[in-house]
Amino acid sequence: MTSTETGTPTLSGERADLLDALGKQRFFLRFTTRDLTDEQAKQSPTVSTLSLGGLIKHVTDTEQAWVRFIEDGPDAMTGNGKDWTEWTEEDYAEREKTFALQPGETLAGVLARYEEVARHTDELIATVDLDLSQPLPDAPWFPPGTCWSARRVLVHIVAETAQHSGHADIIREALDGAKSMG
Amino acid sequence: MTNTATLSGERADLLDSLTQQRFFLRNTTRGLTDEQVAAAPTASSLCLGGLIKHLTHGEQQWVDFILAGPAQHAGHADIIRETLDGAKSMA
C-alpha cells in the first residue's frame, strides 16, 4: 500500500477514504501481474482482446487523463489538444495502441509509470477542493451538460480501476490458473 | 436513479457512481436465459447470476468501500459475458 509513503496518517475523513480506496484498487490490479514475464503480460488468453500489460497502461492513461481534467479542465483531458468529437480514425488508432504493450515496452516499465502517475494523483487528493465542479468534455459517451466534481472524478477512478482489475483477475486465471480472490 | 436530484455534494457523487456501477453489472446480463446466467464459461468458476447474488449480499453488509466491489465484479462479468456469446460491455 502506498499510504505510509504519501502522508496518509496526516489526512483524515473523506480524503483518507479516497486515498485508501484508490490505493487498494491499484494494489489489486498490480497484484494480477505478480511474477509474470513480459511475454505473459502481452498475451490475451481470454475471448477478450485485453492483456494484463495493456490493462496497466490503459488504467494509467485513464487516471492521468482524469487528473488533467481536475487540474486543467475538460479541454486538457484528451492530451492531444482535440476533444473527442474532433478525433479522426488515426487518433483512435493511436488510442488502440494504449491497450497493448508495444515493442520495447516492458511490464516493469508500465508498472513504474503507473506508480509515478499514482503518486501525483495521491498528492492531488490531499489538497484539491473536492467540490470543485466542471463540465465533462464533449464526447459521444458523456451525457451533454453534465458537470462532475473532483470527488465524482476520483470515485470514478476508483470504480474504473476496480472494474479493470476484475478483467485482470480473469485474464490472469486464464494465463496460469492463479487466482486473485479466495 | 433514486432521489439524485434532491441530493447534492458528497451524497450525490456517491449515489451517482454507485448507480452507474450497478448498471454496468446488471447490463452484462441483458437478454440472457437462466441457463446462461448459471454458466461458468471462463477459466474462473464465476457465473453472472452468482455475481449478482454476491453483490446484493455484499451491499447489504456494506463492505469496505462499496463502489469498488460492484466495479470489480462488473469487470469479471464483462469477460464472462463476452465468453458466453461475444457481447462486449465496453467499446
CB contact under 8 A, B42 and A170: yes
Place of cell 503507473: A114
Residue-wise pLDDT tens digits, A80-131: 778 778 888 988 888 888 889 999 999 999 999 999 999 999 999 999 999 9
For A19-42, what is the mean pLDDT?
95
CB contact under 8 A, A168 and B20: no
Q: Quick one: pLDDT band at residue B88, thresholds 50, 70, 90?
A: confident
* DSSP H helical ranges for B1-91: 9-27, 34-38, 48-61, 68-85
Per the CB < 8 A criterion, the answer to whether A56 and A114 are in contact is: yes
**Residue A167 falls within a domain, yes or no?**
yes
Write the single-letter amino acid at A156: H
Element (H, E) at B45: none
Per the CB < 8 A criterion, the answer to whether A125 and A3 are in contact is: no
Q: Which of B16, B21, B43 sits opposite A170 (nearest CB)?
A: B43
Please give the grid coordinates belonging to residue B46. Answer: 464465476
Per the CB < 8 A criterion, the answer to whether A150 and A130 are in contact is: yes
pLDDT averaged over chain B?
Answer: 83
Task: Give this prediction's pTM.
Answer: 0.87
**Residue A3 falls within a domain, yes or no?**
no
Chain A interface test: which of B17, B23, B47, B90 (most A C-beta within 10 Å): B17
CA pair distance A25, A113, nearest whole angstrom: 16
* Sequence-ordered list of residues with C-beta below 8 angstroms from that of B30, at least 6 positions apart, any chain: B87
| Domain-wise residue ranges, chain B | 9-85
The parent domain of residue A16 ranges over 8-176
How many domains does chain A fold into? 1
CB contact under 8 A, B65 and A20: yes
The answer to whether A68 contacts chain B (CB < 8 Å) is no
**DSSP collapsed to 3 states, chain A:** CCCCCCCHHHCCHHHHHHHHHHHHHHHHHHHCCCCCCHHHHHCCCCCCCCCHHHHHHHHHHHHHHHHHHHHHCHHHCCCCCCCHHHCCHHHHHHHHHCCCCCCCCCHHHHHHHHHHHHHHHHHHHHHCCCCCEEECCCCCCCCCCCEEEHHHHHHHHHHHHHHHHHHHHHHHHHHHCCCCCC
**Residue A155 falls within a domain, yes or no?**
yes
Q: What's the alpha-carbon Rg for chain B, to the nearest Å?
A: 14
Q: Which residues of A touch B75 (CB under 8 A)?
A: 162-170
CB contact under 8 A, B75 and A164: yes
* Nearest C-alpha neighbor of A177 from the set B73, B85, B45, B72: B45
Return the number of CB contacts < 8 Å for A and B. Answer: 104
CA pair distance B78, A180, nearest whole angstrom: 17
CB contact under 8 A, A166 and B78: yes
What is the structure's pLDDT at A8? 47
Residue-wise pLDDT tens digits, A121-179: 999 999 999 999 999 998 888 888 999 999 999 999 999 999 999 999 999 999 999 99
What is the structure's pLDDT at B86? 87
**Residue A182 falls within a domain, yes or no?**
no
Chain A interface test: which of B54, B67, B72, B80 (most A C-beta within 10 Å): B72
* B 39-68 near A (Cβ less than 8 A): 42-44, 46, 64-65, 67-68
CA pair distance A74, A177, nearest whole angstrom: 41
Chain B interface test: which of A170, A172, A173 (most B C-beta within 10 Å): A170
pLDDT value at B89 more than 80: no
The answer to whether A8 contacts chain B (CB < 8 Å) is no
Residue-wise pLDDT tens digits, B48-84: 999 999 888 877 766 557 667 778 888 888 999 999 9
* Nearest C-alpha neighbor of A169 from the set B66, B91, B77, B89: B77
